[in-house]
Amino acid sequence: MSREVKVGIVGLGRSGWGIHARVFKKYPEMYRVVGVFDPIEERRQEAVSQFGCKAHSDFESLIGDEEVELAVISTPSYLHAPQTIQALKAGKKVVCEKPMAASLAEADAMIQVAKDTRNLLTVFQNRRYAPDFLKVREVIQSGKLGRIVLIKMSWHSFARRWDWQTLRRFGGGELSNTAPHAIDQALQLFGEEEPEIFCDLQRTLTLGDAEDHVKIILRAPGSPMMDIEITHACAYPQSLWLVMGTQGGLTGTSSSLKWKFFNPEDLPPRQVDTRPTPDRSYNVEEIPWKEETWNLSGDYYQSGDLAFYDELYETLRHGAPLSITPESVRTVMWVIEKCRESCQV
């Protein structure tokens, strides 16, 4: 087996070209693009000029190419499951873009085919490697903030959109487009309990027929409440992160975070006192806060994308455990399915 993983990219749009191909250009010693498929001839020829690869005019031709070891499925969402299943049956290892599938049933079918064929299947949940997410998780796990009460994730913007991802027939809508990233991160912070789910889906500024405003709340005993808000109708965007804990909190963006906390032992002992307060005031005390900060160094998107393919290479060439299993992403699909059921979509 060659040192390089020989890759076939299926779809040369925003993700196939702008994310995956860009990573492979940075890792020529680890990955080599040997084939591409896209229905647009101009895109195929651009890939040929940059990678010296084969250009396939149909999907079946690419997955039938014996030189292709790893197929990257980066086509419109409604094609993810059928093309992944075809690629697995053709003997390929597969990286499938998010969303994993159009439904939970499709996700289950993909997992079953991967087991039956004994071929690797993973999903490009690259935001598990996002620098801000990793830092937030580190701070929470340190215990500095105490028991975590609520984690709010606000993916806010104000913008119209009118491309294919606004249409249901193509698997569009923010629940399928952006929410898989946020839900996947939320589940990593939520714990092992099965969540109770509240969801609200609305069309606001979109020109298509799919939702562009998503509100999801996950809750379960012993877990922090997860409040996820993805919207194109927020003229005053809030911070991406807001974490509330019994000993402090955290707030910030993808490039800058701050958190403050205190040691409970530094507070004077107190007990409930029903006597009138001095000057009829509320209880007041000085909290001995400590504050820390984090700022991004490097390229936000590149760091997560490169980390995904770093770890995948270790799995493909050195037998390391697969970091992002399809079973873990199935839970994301389960949450999405419950959201659609609750909103009767």
Full DSSP string of 137-180 = HHHHHHTTT-SEEEEEEEEE-B----SGGG-GGGT-SHHHHTHH
Give just the sign of the alpha carbon dihedral 160, 163, 169, 170.
negative
Residue 149: count other Cβ atoms within 10 Å of its Cβ: 13
Structure tokens at 258: 């701050």
pLDDT tens-digit map of 137-194: 999 999 999 999 999 999 999 999 999 999 999 999 999 999 999 999 999 999 889 9
How far apart, in whole angstroms, are the C-alpha atoms of residue 186 and residue 179? Answer: 10
- Spans of all domains in the chain: 5-124, 128-296
On average, the pLDDT of the chain sits at: 96
Average pLDDT over residues 185-208: 96
- What is the pLDDT confidence band of residue 1, given thresholds at 50, 70 and 90? low
What CATH topology corresponds to 5-124?
Rossmann fold (3.40.50)
How far apart, in whole angstroms, are the C-alpha atoms of residue 224 and residue 259? Answer: 17
How far apart, in whole angstroms, are the C-alpha atoms of residue 20 and residue 25? Answer: 9
The pLDDT of residue 290 is 98
Residue 225, helix vs strand vs coil? strand
Structure tokens at 78: 């409604």
CATH superfamily entry for domain 128-296: Dihydrodipicolinate Reductase; domain 2 (3.30.360.10)
pLDDT tens-digit map of 14-71: 999 999 999 999 999 999 999 999 999 999 999 999 999 999 999 999 999 999 999 9
On whether the CB atoms of residues 99 and 333 are closer than 8 A, the answer is yes
- What is the pLDDT confidence band of residue 302, given thresholds at 50, 70 and 90? confident
pLDDT tens-digit map of 213-251: 999 999 999 999 999 999 999 999 999 999 999 999 999
